[in-house]
């Protein structure tokens, strides 16, 4: 039964990601950035260095590993971006696709366990296709700079409704966190 549920989750996530990837127009929405305090939490992830086009295969590895290791997610799937290239800069992206878990979980490879320790974040909710999340991140980074903060860590995208089969790409909701300090 668990294998069937995980298979269905994978199919739902893949179809939603594929639908959102096919819409590349700018949303034109103005985002509202707020300060948020996050309680540290444990997570399991699949880390990847390479293009975001590999996201689908990383999710497949994550989902099948969770199922085979009987690890239950304790929240929404999220992605952690460790390196974001500046315009014109050519670097390899370093990112993870993850789920929060209880602290007692001890995953085996290819999963790794991490702890989100950044308590202060700039937060905003992006509504629209995944292909336009970068525009929201750019706005947030500008807000961070203009308000006297510095980045203290990675950028996180928490997928609020990506597994819902009734969600159309223009209504996908992603909460974005930028770890900050004064």
Average pLDDT, the chain: 82
**Cβ–Cβ < 8 Å for 41, 111:** no
CATH architecture under which domain 2-21+32-181 falls: Alpha-Beta Barrel (3.20)
26-51 per-position pLDDT tens digit: 445 678 999 999 999 999 999 999 88
Report the predicted TM-score, pTM, of the whole model to 2 decimal places: 0.80
Give the pLDDT mean for 59-74.
Answer: 97
73-93 per-position pLDDT tens digit: 999 999 999 976 666 666 678
**Cβ–Cβ < 8 Å for 177, 116:** no
100-130 per-position pLDDT tens digit: 999 999 999 999 999 999 999 999 999 988 7
For the chain, the structural domain boundaries read 2-21+32-181
Q: Mapping DSSP to helix (H, G, I), strand (E, B) and coil, where does residue 12 land?
A: helix
Single out the residue of 131, 138, 139 nearest to residue 170, CA to CA. Answer: 131
Torsion of CA 31, 86, 122, 177, to 10 degrees: 90
């Amino acid at each position: 039964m668990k294998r069937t549920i995980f298979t269905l989750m994978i199919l739902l996530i893949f179809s939603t990601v594929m639908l959102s990837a096919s819409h590349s127009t700018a949303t034109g929405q103005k985002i509202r950035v707020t300060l948020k305090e996050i309680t540290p939490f444990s997570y399991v992830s699949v880390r990847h260095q390479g293009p975001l086009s590999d996201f689908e295969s990383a999710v497949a590895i994550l989902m099948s590993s969770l199922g085979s290791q009987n690890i239950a997610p304790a929240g929404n799937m999220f992605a952690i971006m460790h390196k974001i290239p500046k315009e014109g800069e050519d670097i390899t992206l370093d990112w993870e696709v993850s789920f929060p878990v209880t602290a007692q979980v001890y995953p085996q490879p290819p999963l790794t366990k991490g702890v989100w320790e950044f308590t202060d974040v700039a937060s905003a909710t992006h509504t629209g296709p995944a292909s336009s999340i970068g525009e929201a991140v750019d706005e947030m980074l500008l807000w961070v700079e203009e308000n006297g903060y510095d980045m203290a860590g990675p950028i996180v995208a928490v997928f609020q409704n990506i597994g819902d089969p009734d969600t159309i790409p223009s209504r996908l909701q992603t909460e974005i966190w930028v770890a900050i300090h004064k």
